[in-house]
Amino acid sequence: MSTPHTLPVVAAVDGSDDSGRALEWALVEAARRGVELRIVHVRQYAPQLQADVLVAGPEEPADDRVIGAVRKELQSRAGLPPLEFISRDGLPAAVLPEMSAEACLLVLGSRGRGGFASLLLGSNGVAAARDAHCPVVVVPPPGRTVHGDTPVPPGPRVVVGLRTDEPDDTVLGFAFEHAARSGARLQVVAAYPWPVLAWSAFGDFAPTTVDQEAAAQETLRLAEAAVAEWCKAHPDVEVDVHVAPGDAAGLLVANSRDAELVVVGRHRRRLTRPAPILGSVTQAVLLHAASPVAIVPPAAPDAPPTEG
């Protein structure tokens, strides 16, 4: 039986430029992890609706034109991880999450051959990120502009979002492990609201007397406490804790410029939201980040945190 450290990376391809960039990212990551790369093409229509395409069975992709083109492109390249090529018929939004149950990572482009202009709820990318059993990396198109003047440190960098009021060890573990594999600096981003508002006697919100410096120091203290054990477990990873006022999504997007990866979590299931959802911060980062984005699902109930 496969363990989390031997499960394959799965890369979804469909012949689009975006899926090609996702495949390149997945090739590097599978080699870093020392695992097989499973290259999957999900054909979205029934065979009878594809008169010009010969459709193969699920275990024999020889007649799949997309798989054939990828196989041809890779056959002369050296230094690749072990490869497996798979064709499936069905809806990518359903098939890819199903396949993710036997994967350590699912990688796909943000836009496929359908050409939708952005990641809207219900698209293949968001559906896979929302429903997958394993972490999902969505690789954006090139040229996304990140506005703002947030300075970013030079060199390879992984960015992870941290909620200081509810730290997610599954997300932190994935980020630390990826930074350790890639030799990147880890930038931990924690936001705090400012100004802090309170309900006034006049029926409106008003700024409180909370000192901004005190709020920043308390957020920094909580953030450093949340990552302390991970820093001990990964002493070779250089860690920067970045605390700033504002919304978490805006800070993560601003810091995605020139980053290797931005890591965010997916909402835990609760009684008030039993179905999996991405959350507003994760959706905003998917829409606007300039770097690939990793969406990490929460650990199963009563399961110990695992590294990615």
Q: Please name the residue that has the structure tokens 């008169």.
A: 51
Domains and CATH numbers, the chain: 9-139 (3.40.50.620), 157-296 (3.40.50.12370)
pTM above 0.75, yes or no: yes
**Burial (CB count within 10 angstroms: exposed 0-12, middle 13-18, buried 19+), residue 211:** exposed
Q: Is pLDDT of 217 > 80?
A: yes
Q: Is pLDDT of 263 > 90?
A: yes
What is the percent of the chain with per-residue pLDDT over 70, rounded to a whole number?
74
Q: Which of 8-17, 60-69, 88-97, 192-201 has the lowest mean pLDDT?
A: 192-201
Q: Please name the residue that has the structure tokens 């909620």.
A: 163
pLDDT value of residue 298: 86
Determine the distance from the C-alpha atom of residue 275 to the mean position of all C-alpha atoms in its chain, rounded to a whole number.
Answer: 19
Q: Is pLDDT of 129 > 50?
A: yes
Tokens linked to 110? 């943000």
User: What SS3 string covers 200-254?
Assistant: CCCCCEEECCCCHHHHHHHHHHHHHHHHHHHHHHCCCCCEEEEEEECCHHHHHHH
Q: pLDDT tier at 158 (50, 70, 90 boundaries)?
A: very high
Q: What is the DSSP string of 240-304?
A: EEEEEES-HHHHHHHTTTT-SEEEEE-PPPBTTB-S----HHHHHHHHH-SS-EEEEPPPPTTPP
Q: pLDDT tier at 55 (50, 70, 90 boundaries)?
A: very low
Q: pLDDT tier at 208 (50, 70, 90 boundaries)?
A: low
Give the residue, 70 or 211, on which the prediction is more confident: 70
Closest CA to 218 of 243, 251, 186, 247: 243
Give the residue, 47 or 77, on which the prediction is more confident: 77
pLDDT value of residue 144: 80
Residue 272 sits at φ, ψ, to 5 deg, of -80, -15
Closest CA to 231 of 166, 301, 291, 160: 160
Q: Is pLDDT of 237 > 60?
A: yes
Q: pLDDT tier at 116 (50, 70, 90 boundaries)?
A: very low
pLDDT value of residue 300: 67
Q: pLDDT tier at 1 (50, 70, 90 boundaries)?
A: very low
User: How many other CB atoms are there within 10 angstroms of residue 15's CB atom?
Assistant: 14
Q: Is pLDDT of 264 > 60?
A: yes
pLDDT value of residue 209: 53
Average pLDDT, the chain: 81
Q: pLDDT tier at 155 (50, 70, 90 boundaries)?
A: confident
Amino acid identity at 209: T
- Highest mean pLDDT pick, 32-36, 110-114, 116-120, 125-129: 32-36
| Distance between CA atoms of residues 191 and 235, nearest Å | 25
pLDDT value of residue 202: 53
* SS3 at position 115: coil
Q: How many helices (H) and strands (E) does the chain have?
A: 8, 12
Q: Is pLDDT of 61 > 80?
A: no
